[in-house]
Amino acid sequence: MNNFFHFGDSYATVGEFALTKHFCGIIADNIGYTYRAYGRGGRSNEQILNDIIKLFDTFKKNDIVFINFSFFTRGCWYNKTENRIQSTNVFFDDNSQNKTKLPINNENLLYLLEYYIKNSEDYAKKIFTLFNSVLENLERKNIKIFYIFVQETEYSSDLLKVGTNIQFEGGFSKWLKSNNFHNGTDVHYTNGIQPILADIILKITNKLNTTNSVLNVTNDYIDINKIIKYNKLI
Q: What is the pLDDT of residues 156-172, one digit of tens each?
A: 999 999 999 999 988 99
Q: Would you mind telling me the total number of residues written for the chain in this entry?
A: 234
Helix H or strand E segment including 135: helix 120-140
The tens digit of pLDDT for each residue in 212-231 reads 899 999 877 777 666 666 55
For domain 3-74+123-233, the CATH class is: alpha beta
The tens digit of pLDDT for each residue in 76-120 reads 999 888 999 999 988 888 887 877 777 767 778 888 999 999 999
The residue among 97 and 149 whose pLDDT is bigger is: 149
The residue among 129 and 98 whose pLDDT is bigger is: 129
CA distance 173 to 129: 24
In the chain, where are the structural domains located?
Answer: 3-74+123-233
Long-range contacts of residues 166-173, Cβ cutoff 8 Å, at least 24 apart:
166/201, 166/204, 166/205, 166/215, 166/217, 167/214, 167/215, 167/216, 167/217, 168/217, 169/216, 169/217, 172/11, 172/68, 172/148, 173/11, 173/95
Give the chain's mean pLDDT: 91
CA distance 36 to 56: 14
Given this model, what pLDDT does residue 90 score? 85
pTM of the model: 0.93
Q: Kindly tell me if the per-residue pLDDT of 61 is higher than 60.
A: yes
**What integer is the mean pLDDT of 49-63?**
97
CA distance 157 to 163: 12
CA distance 225 to 203: 16
**What integer is the mean pLDDT of 193-208?**
94
Q: Kindly tell me if the per-residue pLDDT of 57 is higher than 80.
A: yes
Given this model, what pLDDT does residue 152 score? 92
E strand segments, 100-188: 144-149, 164-167
Given this model, what pLDDT does residue 91 score? 87
Given this model, what pLDDT does residue 104 score? 60
